[in-house]
Amino acid sequence: MSNVVVIGTQWGDEGKGKIVDWLSEKADLVVRFQGGHNAGHTLVVDKKIFKLSLLPSGIVRENTIVLIGNGVVIDPFHLKKEIDELKNQNITISPENLIISDTAFLILPIHQVIDQLRENIKNTEKIGTTGRGIGPSYEDKVGRRGLRICDLFDEDELSSKLSKLYDFHNIWLRAMGKKNLDPKDVYEILWDLGQTIKSYVQPSWLSINKYIQQASNILFEGAQGTFLDVDHGTYPFVTSSNTIASQAGIGAGLGPTDINYTLGITKAYTTRVGSGPFPTEDNGEDGILLGKKGHEFGTVTGRQRRCGWFDAVLVRQAVSLSSIKGIALTKLDILDGFEEIKICTGYSLNGKTINYLPSAEKEQKSLKPIYETLKGWEGSIAGIKKLNELPKSALIYVKRLEELIGCPIILISTSPERSDTIYIKDPFNPN
């Protein structure tokens, strides 16, 4: 048995989908443990493109079972839509290969209304939320007024809890000069959606425990990235859940001793969607070129991502926060053709050099990157599958990243295609 957690080490968009898809071939079960449909994965399989934002990436692979854990917040409308879209792409989805936790919390239409209103209030700095209701749903979870998947299957519970939740949020809507929303407008359709997904629903912890007892390989798939973590990220410009590896146990239902290996997914440069500090952001020609070559647009929102050079300080910190044992380096091919490539090795803050991301928002915004410059390489590395076939300058870049982040790079992605990957070590069998 080997249980592997996969997380992003930057601000998300590191290319987790492709790596998880490859690892899912070796896994008996793939588990999504946090976030909602604000996180997007784009998979390219045999030139077919699959865009996922809620279902675990392993769903596109035959004979792989996937599970949406209790730590995920689920929009049942979007869940049905995503299932239908994949079925239309000839992907088989049934209770035999999809399990949904009965204790995952729901995202309701009123959550999306609140999310969008808050983000669009004038004269305030925008967080960069996708407006899909993730934050308000997590707030209701912590406030002990949220609805869970299991509430969809009891008419009295659904009606009563829905009314109480809408009564609570209508107070704020009226204060904002908006009309009350009526829970009766969504009750019937929610009940119908519940009946549609009921066959997939199980106690997730029980399902996972069964696989552990059978000494199976389990892959735990995180969403977003380390520095969008609500506790450890660039607060308040973060998501509403914990994105680091420790959340895998909480959001799926198992203890820490059952997690054997943590793989960090790391882009060969750095990107960020939305607002918030970004020390290595490059607003010049290099940043524009990185975005153009890397097709840096959000899978979920379509928003253009901000681009910059690799930040070794951030990734080293992510390695520590999640006890990462190996790194999957993605999009190395995007650096093809750059004469010089920069790596941030430290920060300057008020005239002092520091080697970590400070917690205070004001200090994060004041950071100046300290760069080391390496020579780039000529030609294209796209499609290379062996480490010794990389150009010398690319190998030097990879080795220097390992030194700076204090963690071995065990996979290198050289294109969006599933097969275009250099495999140095298998996370399920790292010894």
Active site residues: 13, 41
In sequence order, what are the beta bridge partners of 31? 67, 220
Under 8 Å between Cβ of 55 and 68: yes
Two structure tokens written together for 280: 């290595």
* Pair type for strands 352-354 and 340-349: antiparallel
Task: Give the separation between CA 109 and CA 132, rounded to whole angstroms.
Answer: 9
Helix (H, G, I), strand (E, B) or coil at 172: helix
DSSP strands (E only) in 94-213: 98-101, 105-106, 201-202
Per the rule left: phi > 0, alpha: psi between -120 and 50, beta: everything else, 141 is: alpha
Two structure tokens written together for 257: 């001793």
Helix (H, G, I), strand (E, B) or coil at 84: helix
Phi, psi (5° rounding) for residue 62? -65, 145
Burial class (CB in 10 A: 0-12, 13-18, 19+), 40: buried
Residue 292 identity: K
DSSP class of residue 304? B
